[in-house]
Structure 1
């Protein structure tokens, strides 16, 4: 069983990165808990979530040994149209974190962390009425029990530990992830959310395993099939359908299709 995270140790190691950091044993949803918080750069970590949610209202499983956290950010000075980059930025932070533990990972647009063809982490970013953004991250650290259900699109779950080849310290993973997220977000915020000047767009494209893939995108009005061509300046993905028409997708569930 994983050792409980110690908030005081995390605060000391992340001094200067965040204004507030707390760890709770259990909560319904860390994202929901931070929606009415006023302080920029507030972090909440839960050992367990009982009502965690993923995109489109799906349940977010929280098996033991994982890392479940939310960060409230108030990037004043960043235009509203650039705020969606926070969710892609969080994906890049996850890839960097995995690499720190010798795990090579990619991103399924917009922000699912894949190791091979299995999902190790997901991100859910929500804008609050006060124009803050709560970024929720669920990362599987320890080996998973065999009864964890596949996610959207039938993606089977995996964890960092299954690929690192050694036991991992969750506190070390938490510190690494939160540092990477802080560094990326500060640079992006200082550049008023510009993904080009910060190098964020290029880095995201390098890590995005969806590009070049045959995909099916589940949209509210139906499904679109085609080839993922590019990620745009606004974070949208461009999918070219079989008739040769390009479609800019800002939100939707992407399924990677295996070419037979």
Structure 2
């Protein structure tokens, strides 16, 4: 049925050009298996939030006209179609002729031969619930819960995959910097693939995901073990920052991953400076940023993220097996859905933090980094160029360095190094 994304984009544009609909938000794009009539290709799904003065019936008529303009032809129920626009819900403000005069916005409910509101099957379909939660996270479900609470039920993610993340519609028009998701069964390293793509001009936000890596990379050239069941991906970024600010990308990613794990799994994830995420003392995530500069100007950065979502830790080498954990059992009945839910949550969190970092600087997110870094106030040992530095981790500075207070009371700023964490310290000089 042609370019699926382009069909959605054209449909949105024609709606907007009608002058009778204002599009305020459009969700990420999600790919799903067809429903009902299965002898057809995969579908792309999105949810748009719009404002209009049209009645529900007139809005539906406009939507059907747009479908025809784009070439939709009559077919069997749920059969192949170039575009399908449904009205899910319709709200009116106080004072509107359709309002119940309660003083708040009211949801219109109706059931006619042509239109039923709210859509009768919307709460049964993950490909509706998930993008709807993205554009309206405070929407209440029929039982009074916020819709975003539903996305923690991994069953809702069955058969759904993220295709392109980030709001598709921004301000008055379509985004042109496509945040593509590129999926592979196996690669040597997602960072290597992303670096090659970035070198060839891939746009900011391009995301490379693999089911396994045969030569995944960790810090200092170490091998990152990437068995099946994990989430292994890399993001292409094009920030206009200086080389000394690159360390912030690791910490931003660490906060994004920790927050996503807390939201998705309810586990107490924390950041271990400079580039790990721990749950109950076990490493569940590693982060590796790589950059390329042309002169003193950054050409691109690639941030690699590996999360042990549902892996068999017994497949890991002995030297790391005792220190690594997994978020859920590899036998979890919805392990693949859990990975997809976590992917979306990480990308959403990272996008928000990264945007804030670029617009407001790192000082605005420093407090959040401190909140997630539970090393602070604890005894640590950092190996820097083979020399151990021992003391209490007292703070993270504005340059992303770790501040360690030694027994002598000296504050040492550490930019990089291997960190081991002890029990909460005592007997060290502290302010």
TM-score by structure 2 length?
Answer: 0.53
**RCO higher in structure (CA 8 A, sep ≥6):** 1
Residue 128 in 1 paired to residue 292 in 2? yes
2:226 to 45, 62, 68: 62
The structural deviation recorded for 1:75 is: 1.0
Residues 164-203 of structure 1: CA deviation (Å, up to 9, x unaligned): x984421111111111111211121122xx122x3x1001
Structure 2 Cα separation of the partners of residues 12 and 221 of structure 1? 44
C-alpha spacing 1:151/1:18, structure 2 compared with 1 (3 Å)? farther
C-alpha spacing 1:53/1:252, structure 2 compared with 1 (3 Å)? same
Partner of 1:159: 326
Q: How many corresponding residue pairs?
A: 248
Partner of 1:105: 269
Partner of 1:171: 340
Partner of 2:209: 45
Partner of 1:23: 183
Contact 2:210/2:233 (8 A) holds in 1: yes
Residue 144 in 1 paired to residue 312 in 2? yes
- Shifted more, 9-18 versus 217-226: the winner is 9-18
Q: Unmatched 5+ residue regions in structure 1?
A: none
The structural deviation recorded for 1:147 is: 3.5
Partner of 2:351: 182
> Which is higher, the Rg of structure 1 or of structure 2?
2
The structural deviation recorded for 1:128 is: 1.7
Residue 217 in 1 paired to residue 382 in 2? yes
The structural deviation recorded for 1:14 is: 4.5
Structure 2 Cα separation of the partners of residues 151 and 141 of structure 1? 20
1:119 to 263, 267, 283: 283
1:34 to 171, 179, 194: 194
2:419 to 239, 254, 257: 254
C-alpha spacing 1:258/1:151, structure 2 compared with 1 (3 Å)? farther
Structure 2 Cα separation of the partners of residues 259 and 84 of structure 1? 26
Partner of 1:10: 162
RMSD: 2.5
SS of the counterpart of 1:141?
Answer: coil
SS of the counterpart of 2:249?
Answer: helix
Contact 1:151/1:157 (8 A) holds in 2: no
Partner of 1:205: 370
Matches for 1:54-93 after TM superposition, within 5 Å: 54-76=218-240, 78-93=241-256
SS of the counterpart of 2:285?
Answer: strand
Q: Unmatched 5+ residue regions in structure 2?
A: 1-30, 33-41, 45-160, 169-176, 426-431
- Shifted more, 203-212 versus 143-152: the winner is 143-152
Contact 1:67/1:141 (8 A) holds in 2: yes
Contact 1:140/1:159 (8 A) holds in 2: yes
Partner of 1:226: 391
Residues 46-105 of structure 1: CA deviation (Å, up to 9, x unaligned): 1111111111111101021100000010012x3443232111000000111011121111
